[in-house]
A and B are shown apart, each in its own frame.
Chain A
Amino acid sequence: RKEVEQDPGPFNVPEGATVAFNCTYSNSASQSFFWYRQDCRKEPKLLMSVYSSGNEDGRFTAQLNRASQYISLLIRDSKLSDSATYLCVVIYTGGFKTIFGAGTRLFVKA
């Protein structure tokens, strides 16, 4: 089983749609969780941290379920500019080793 698994997609959605991504992780020693966004041939950029209590940043909501070992990202009112690959990132206890998911591709169409 992969350490961090994501549905690769692609997700093709119209502007204004709500879309949700899930990510599962296998190591219960995982400590910190993030969503990053990566545009084609660019560096990953931090989108948001993920907490057990859930957190929201504008149209984006992230959630962590430690018992089931998954994290989620919800994007509301999708914009064309949301088209990118969304990377789930897990950092192990100790704060050093980091595992990236392979990413979920999102295409938002007009």
Chain B
Amino acid sequence: EPEVTQTPSHQVTQMGQEVILRCVPISNHLYFYWYRQILGQKVEFLVSFYNNEISEKSEIFDDQFSVERPDGSNFTLKIRSTKLEDSAMYFCATKDREGYGYTFGSGTRLTVV
């Protein structure tokens, strides 16, 4: 079964540092998403990306965050100047067409200390 691959699985970073979370989508998928889940809380939508641009973003996705697809395969989430409250599990999800459900990667656990 095709998988969405995320790296690293766990990242520890110091407050104020920049982190880049990476995702390799399923090869024929066209829609890409980032979600986060703070421990014990619900999954929250961050951003969607389609046709090489952001299609929708939530209130959480402020100037601290950015996404790109630098080489046509990887899909990255950059968090600048991390804060303690950015500690969460970050999930990448992809799908191949509208109206269908997403396939999630196994997530990156980000810990900001």
Residues of A whose CB lies within 8 Å of any CB of B are 31-32, 34, 36, 38, 41-46, 49, 87, 89, 91, 94-103
Contacts and interface: CB of A to CB of B under 8 A. Distances in A.
B99 A32 contact: yes
Given A43-B106, A44-B91, A103-B42, A98 B101 contact: no
Contacts of B103: 46
A103 B43 CA distance: 9
Nearest to A4: B42
Given A42-B106, A44-B43, A96 B50 contact: yes
B33 interface: yes
Interface of B: 31, 33, 35, 41-45, 48, 50, 55-56, 58, 89, 91, 98-107
Nearest to A2: B42
A76 to B, nearest CB: 22
Contacts of A31: 99
A66 B107 CA distance: 33
A81 B52 CA distance: 39
A66 B32 CA distance: 27
A100 B43 contact: yes
Contacts of B58: 97
Contact of B45 (A41, A42, A94, A100): A100
B106 A96 contact: no
Contact of A97 (B43, B56, B104, B107): B56
